[in-house]
């Protein structure tokens, strides 16, 4: 399910699971704390290279983190 046309993501949950601050995640991704906040709140959809970097960091697939409401999970839900 998308809100306002934005892609939803689980970044905040994944970050919380590791007890990382937004700055900690930003530093590991090479972006600012504000950028992490913008992605988490759905104000900004990351580029494909950044999405791959995020997926790699958490050891997941991109579609396990980002959901545009058109995938398998969305259809099941």
Partner 1 sequence: MMAKARMRVVDDLGRGAGEEMERAQRRRRGVIVGTLFVLGTITGAYGGWTMAETDFDLSQPWSPTICLILAGIYLAAMLFGSIALSKQMDEVERQVHYKAAGVAGGTYAVVYPTWFLLWKGGFVPEPIHWALFILFWVALAASTLYYRFR
List residues bridging with 8 in a β-sheet. Answer: 67
Under the binding rule (CB under 8 A), the answer on residue 6 touching partner 1 is no
Given 34, 63, 70, 73, the residue binding partner 1 (CB under 8 A): 34
# binding residues, partner 1 (CB under 8 A): 27
Give how far Cα 57 sits from Cα of 29, 30, 31, 71, Å. Answer: 8, 12, 13, 22
Torsion, Cα 9 10 12 15, to 10 degrees, reads -130
Nearer to partner 1, 8 or 35 (CB): 35
| Contact positions with partner 1 (CB under 8 A) in 37-76 | 38-39, 43-44, 46-47, 50, 55-60
Instruction: Return residues touching partner 1 (CB under 8 A).
Output: 20-21, 23-28, 30-35, 38-39, 43-44, 46-47, 50, 55-60
């Amino acid at each position: 399910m998308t809100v306002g046309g934005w892609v939803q993501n689980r970044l905040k949950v994944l970050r919380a699971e590791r007890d990382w601050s937004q700055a900690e995640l930003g530093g590991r991704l090479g972006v600012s704390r504000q950028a992490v906040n913008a992605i988490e709140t759905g104000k900004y959809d990351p580029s494909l290279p950044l999405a791959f970097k995020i997926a790699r960091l958490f050891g997941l697939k991109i579609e396990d983190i980002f959901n545009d409401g058109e995938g398998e999970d969305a259809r099941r839900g």
